[in-house]
Amino acid sequence: MKLEVKGLNFKYNGRCILENINLEVGEGEVLTILGPNGSGKTTLLRCIAGIINPEEGQIFINGNKIKKLKKEELARKISYVPQNEDGSFPATVFDTVLMGRKPYLTWNPSNKDLEVVSATLGFLGLKEFALRDFNELSGGEKQKVLIARAIVQQAQIMLLDEPTSNLDLRHQLEVLEIIRRLADERGISVIMATHDLNLAPRYSDELVMLKNGKVFCLGKPKQVITPENIKAVYQVEATIDNHSQIPHIVSISL
Amino acid sequence: MKDPEKEIKIQKSYFKFIRGKLIFVFSLLILLVVAGIVAVNVGSVSLGVNKILSSICNRIFFTHFVKDELASTIVWELRLPRVFMAILVGAGLAMAGTALQGILKNPLASPYTLGVASAAGFGASLAIVAGVGLLGTQNLLIITNAFIFALFSSSVVLGLARIKGATPESLILAGIAMMFLFSAMTSLLQYMGTEEEVTAVVFWLLGNLSRATWPRVGIVCAVVFGTFPFFMRYAWDFNALTAGDETAESLGVSTVKVRLVGLALASLVTASAICFVGTIGFIGLVSPHISRMIIGGDHRFLFPTSCLVGAILLLVADTVARTILSPVILPVGILTSFLGVPLFIYLIIKSRREYW
């Protein structure tokens, strides 16, 4: 499915958080949002997820306004993995993932619901954890469970807010690999926010850099990850190795 | 990547896991029935199961074998209403407590968090001390006052939440504010009341089941069974709420709606229960915790389990309160803590997993 964001503005207490945002993600594409803390990445994701309502601007899925969709219908089209989840109640991994079927569930989960959950746990290599408590898992495993929950939502658009923060190297790669596979194999359109300027280009089709709530630059990794852009957005001097296909930041200094 | 056999295995173990919970719920139900029969049996006159059953059958089927007027009166007019009241109030408070803890995402939340108890206490004190109220005379006045003020307090909190946003923090703070306001007003009334009036107020605040009558049981029954389907119907929404507001919203749950409607209904249950029996503490706080420790946080099973645990706790507490210092009958509100705390602490020590 194709997602378009047109002329999005969002104000909070009179302060402009997002200003005239225009974006587009096609089927099976991964778009990564970069930008310093407070540049509006999370707010943008929350607007797209329908959690908060922008003052102005429209978001379209295949040309249809998402404002017109009911909450439940929207939940079948867009899944969202928040950055911090304060899950406090005891719940098994299976139950946590099953919650992703909420938009389809009647009271008792159907066989299909259970099948989708089991298959997804298998897909992510989480079978052994099925009946373990979510709270007992490590950070990396938790993140995978939350992604599993978004997968069983069977939405064609997936939003992730800093999916690799707080993860060790191996889990960072694993999580990004999963995201890439979802896009390639299942045609899911992905929008994620991250701080990782080196991993982002490797797994993304397009990058967008936000600065103070505005789109500073948008394009292929090579067009976005440049010393000039990084200087302007992050106020950091960076040297970039452009020899391979993917730009790589070699050194940074203030 | 796909491995059908393994997937079926996961599903099978999940079914087993669910069946375990169902079996536990049914065992609690049986335990409740047994506790109920024991509770009807014991007291200053011990009747024996035969007499109890025959007097129950006589009334229901209008048969006339073994007629025992005394037994019949004791069972029907004294013990049964009291037993049913204990079961219904216990279940209602536990249900409201479960709902509040889920909605507010706070382990310290109880049915009284929105100031319902102190408001009801103030309403009752107003009737006892000043004889002022909105409806009825004396006894009825206490009930209607308690009920109306309880609902008033939660309405104020919910009204504030509608204006300022229904976040758990704002709801809890507003509830605490109401609690202090009504406690202060109750203290003022107690300060001005005569000794007898103050005693009556304190007695009411402790909570006791001695005033249970069939019509009152009927009202509480209607409210508890009327609201239970809502909580069951929205069990998944409650589950989603506990995963955080953002997640719940992205799963298609209207968090504000579920919060406000859930709180309104929980307050209604609480108000209708405590207006008849006083502010019985502890049940509404501890029953959800006990249930969560045993069967986990899935509200589909948590609501029924919690109701049964609450019902059993209050029933046992009241039976002990009636018999332990016989012929003196202690207010059950005192006993709920005495019996509940050891059980609670035992479970905290025993439960291996982190349950909150």
pLDDT band for B1, please (50, 70, 90 cuts).
Answer: very low
Choose the closest CB to A114 out of B6, B14, B249.
Answer: B14
| Per-residue pLDDT, A48 | 92
CA distance B40 to chain A (A): 37
- List the single residue in A with minimal CA-CA distance to B354: A90
Residues of chain A neighbouring B251 (CB-CB closer than 8 A): 75, 99-100, 102-103, 153
* d(C-alpha B128, C-alpha B122), whole Å: 10
Whether A119 sits inside 8 A of B7 (CB atoms) is yes
Find the helix or strand (DSSP H, E) in which B49 lies.
helix B49-61
Whether A80 sits inside 8 A of B246 (CB atoms) is yes
Bridge partner residues of A25 (DSSP): A3
Question: Which residue type, as a one-letter code, is found at position A58?
Answer: Q
Q: Which two tokens stand for residue B61?
A: 């089927």
Mutate: best of A44, A102, A151, A185, partner B, most B CBs <10 A: A102
% of chain B beyond a pLDDT of 90:
46
Choose the closest CB to A131 out of B17, B239, B243.
Answer: B17
Whether A122 sits inside 8 A of B2 (CB atoms) is yes
| Per-residue pLDDT, A86 | 60
Q: Which domains does chain A have, with CATH numbers?
A: 3-253 (3.40.50.300)
**Which residues 14-43 on chain A approach chain B with CB closer than 8 angstroms?**
none
Q: Domains of chain B: which residue ranges?
A: 4-350
| Per-residue pLDDT, B327 | 81
- List the single residue in B with minimal CA-CA distance to A74: B252
Residues of chain B neighbouring A133 (CB-CB closer than 8 A): 353-354
pLDDT band for B133, please (50, 70, 90 cuts).
Answer: low
Among the listed residues B110, B128, B142, the one whose alpha carbon sits nearest the alpha carbon of residue B263: B110
Estimate to the nearest angstrom the gap between the alpha carbon of B223 and the chain centroid.
Answer: 12
* d(C-alpha B61, C-alpha A117), whole Å: 52
Pairing of strands A3-12, A206-211: unpaired
Considering only the top CATH level, what class is B4-350? mainly alpha
Question: For B108-118, what is each residue's pLDDT tens digit?
Answer: 889 988 899 99
Q: Which two tokens stand for residue B187?
A: 């203290």
Among the listed residues B195, B46, B207, the one whose alpha carbon sits nearest the alpha carbon of residue B120: B207
* d(C-alpha B161, C-alpha B157), whole Å: 6
Number of neighbouring beta carbons within 10 Å of residue B221: 18
Residues of chain B neighbouring A88 (CB-CB closer than 8 A): 105, 242, 356
- List the single residue in B with minimal CA-CA distance to A131: B14
Question: For B254-307, what is each residue's pLDDT tens digit?
Answer: 988 999 899 999 999 999 999 999 989 889 999 999 998 888 889 999 999 999
Residues of chain A neighbouring B247 (CB-CB closer than 8 A): 80, 82, 85
Average pLDDT score over residue span B316-345: 86
User: Which residues of B fall below an 8 Å CB-CB distance to A?
Assistant: 1-3, 6-8, 10-11, 13-14, 17, 102, 105, 232-233, 235-237, 239-240, 242-244, 246-247, 249-254, 292, 296-298, 300, 353-356
Among the listed residues B107, B164, B33, B12, the one whose alpha carbon sits nearest the alpha carbon of residue B356: B107
Pairing of strands A30-34, A157-161: unpaired
Whether A94 sits inside 8 A of B298 (CB atoms) is no
- List the single residue in B with minimal CA-CA distance to A91: B297
Number of neighbouring beta carbons within 10 Å of residue A156: 20
Model-level pTM?
Answer: 0.88
| Per-residue pLDDT, B66 | 58
**Does A186 touch chain B if contact means CB atoms closer than 8 Å?**
no
CB B269 within 8 A of CB B95: yes
Q: Which residue has the higher pLDDT, B332 or B162?
A: B332
**Which residues 93-152 on chain A approach chain B with CB closer than 8 angstroms?**
94-96, 99-100, 102-103, 105, 107, 114-115, 118-119, 121-123, 127, 130-131, 133, 135-136
Q: Which residue has the higher pLDDT, A89 or B51?
A: B51
Whether B354 sits inside 8 A of A90 (CB atoms) is yes
Among A28-37, A126-135, B70-79, which stretch is predicted with the lowest mean pLDDT? B70-79
**Which residues 187-246 on chain A approach chain B with CB closer than 8 angstroms?**
none
Q: What are phi and psi of A157, to 5 degrees?
A: -125, 130
pLDDT band for B68, please (50, 70, 90 cuts).
Answer: confident
Could you give the angle at the alpha carbon of A140 between the alpha carbons of B167 and B353, nearest 5°? 65
Q: How many CB pairs under 8 A join A and B?
A: 124
Question: For A56-90, what is each residue's pLDDT tens digit?
Answer: 888 999 888 888 889 889 999 999 999 877 666 67
* d(C-alpha B314, C-alpha B332), whole Å: 8
Pairing of strands A248-253, A189-193: unpaired
Q: What ipTM goes with this model?
A: 0.87
Mutate: best of B108, B238, B246, partner A, most A CBs <10 A: B246
Q: Which residues contact B16 (CB under 8 A, 6 or more apart)?
A: none
Q: Which two tokens stand for residue A75?
A: 């939940």
CA distance B31 to chain A (A): 25
Among B54-63, B205-214, B342-351, which stretch is predicted with the lowest mean pLDDT? B54-63
Is the pLDDT score of A36 beyond 50? yes
Is the pLDDT score of B137 beyond 80? no
Max CA pair span of chain A: 57
Residue-by-residue DSSP string for B232-244? HHTHHHHHHHHT-
CA distance A52 to chain B (A): 9
* d(C-alpha B244, C-alpha B161), whole Å: 18
